[in-house]
Chains A and B, each alone.
Chain A
């Protein structure tokens, strides 16, 4: 399956791009995706606080992803 990735704030600066795409085996979870992202972007390995949203909703590490999902990675938010 193919995922669309979006990065924000300090995470965006660490990976150096705002968006990307990723191919993962069917049945992959959020945790699998994170592992693969960290393999591509080594600088994320030292970041211990990454929030993940899929199609605009927060997800569990074990949530299964689906083809076409938009996955966002970002640090704890600081609006308001």
Chain B
């Protein structure tokens, strides 16, 4: 999946009502659990991921009263230092922008069906997230 441009996404998101734009960018790290990472493979259950991301976005918009939220998550093969994910939140003021961004990030890590496999010098390993009770 093609890389995204943070500026381009912010350009589409921004309106005059926003005094605060908060972004989170996830990036491929070179070391994981003491192993040297060459690249990562991201697998996604696309239909469900889209459904869950839309639900998370709507919940965050309502809960924090922010103006707009954009979420992009790449999949496929990504090299060290490449972008993995972007969350961009536009709000009237900074507190709700930061809060909504953090909320979306934690929810994604908990429940959106996306998995990372790290291709390291010591072999290939699926990264497994924290177990959670989805309901």
Contacts and interface: CB of A to CB of B under 8 A. Distances in A.
Interface of A: 6, 8-10, 13, 49, 51, 53, 56-60, 72, 74-80
Contact of B114 (A49, A53, A60, A78): A78
Interface residues of B, number: 33
Contacts of B105: 80
Given A8-B43, A79-B109, A80-B105, A58 B134 contact: yes
Interface stretch (B1-9, B13-21, B121-129): B121-129
A8 B113 contact: yes
Given A9-B126, A80-B105, A74 B113 contact: yes
A8 B41 CA distance: 13
A15 to B, nearest CB: 14
B40 to A, nearest CB: 10
Contacts of A57: 48, 51
Interface in B7-66: 26, 42-45, 47-49, 51-52
A57 B51 CA distance: 8
A79 B114 contact: yes
Contact of B111 (A6, A9, A77): A77
A75 B115 contact: yes
Interface of B: 26, 42-45, 47-49, 51-52, 73, 84-85, 105, 108-117, 126-132, 134-135
Contacts of B129: 76-79
Contacts of B134: 51, 58
Nearest to A13: B126
25 contacts: A8-B113, A9-B115, A9-B126, A10-B128, A56-B52, A57-B48, A58-B135, A60-B135, A72-B45, A72-B48, A72-B113, A75-B115, A76-B130, A76-B131, A76-B132, A77-B109, A77-B115, A79-B42, A79-B44, A79-B73, A79-B115, A79-B116, A79-B129, A80-B85, A80-B114
